């Protein structure tokens, strides 16, 4: 599963992390998206590749979970 975290620090950006199935406590950083346009393009690419996703908000930060299709 991919996780997209909205980071609101000095410069707002989004980090895309991927689960490690063998070690679920250890995620890997895949991408840093520096603008809303980059985020929109990334989500469009995911949708074109058949990836379904669910967007939800946690209390302390926004977290978007992207479920990958089974291979």
**pLDDT band of 71, cuts 50, 70, 90:** very low
**pLDDT band of 52, cuts 50, 70, 90:** low
pLDDT per position as a tens digit, 16-44: 888 777 876 788 899 999 999 999 999 88
Predicted pLDDT at 34:
95
Predicted pLDDT at 63:
61
Average pLDDT over residues 60-71: 57
Average pLDDT over residues 37-63: 74
Run of H or E residues at 55: strand 52-57
Structural contact between residues 33 and 39, judged by C-beta atoms closer than 8 angstroms: yes
């Amino acid at each position: 599963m991919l996780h997209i975290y909205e980071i609101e620090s000095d410069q707002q950006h989004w980090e895309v992390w991927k689960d490690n199935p063998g070690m679920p406590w250890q995620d890997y950083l895949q991408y840093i998206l520096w603008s809303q346009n980059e985020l929109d393009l990334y989500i469009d690419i995911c949708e074109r590749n058949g990836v379904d996703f669910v967007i939800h908000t946690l209390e302390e930060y926004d977290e978007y979970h992207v479920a990958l299709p089974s291979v």
